[in-house]
Amino acid sequence: MTLSFGGDKADRLRELATHYSATCTAALGDAPNDVAMLQAADIGFIVKNPQGPELPPLPGETEGRIRRTEHVGPEGWNVAILDLLRGLELIREKESDG
């Protein structure tokens, strides 16, 4: 299934955000066809992909609006989502055991 038929991923992100009245949008991607979507989102995560071409620095990275994961694939996606949830204060860091 693709959301980009008849447009690109950024177009679909904006349409979904409008449809659901989103106040904050996030996007995760690991390939050149994800760049427009990452830039359209309020917060974007570039997931490390050693099998694909490395994405060049994107506008928004120096300000932290677009971030890169050190982990690959599903682990990178998981770390990115947890980072997002912590940043939105929807989850807290685990308390230390001592």
pLDDT at residue 1, as a whole number: 42
Domain count of the fold of the chain: 1
What is the distance between the terminal CA atoms of the chain, rounded to a whole angstrom? 48
CB 24 within 8 A of CB 43: yes
Query: Has residue 71 been placed in a domain?
Result: yes
pLDDT at residue 93, as a whole number: 73
Query: Has residue 60 been placed in a domain?
Result: yes
> pTM of the full predicted structure?
0.84
CB 31 within 8 A of CB 49: yes
Strands (E), the chain: 26-29, 43-48, 66-72
Residue recorded with tokens 């009245």: 21
Query: Has residue 37 been placed in a domain?
Result: yes
pLDDT at residue 74, as a whole number: 95
Q: Which structural domain range is residue 77 located in? A: 9-14+21-87
Query: Has residue 57 been placed in a domain?
Result: yes
Cα 88 from Cα 98, distance rounded (Å): 26
pLDDT, mean of residues 45-49: 97
Query: Has residue 96 been placed in a domain?
Result: no
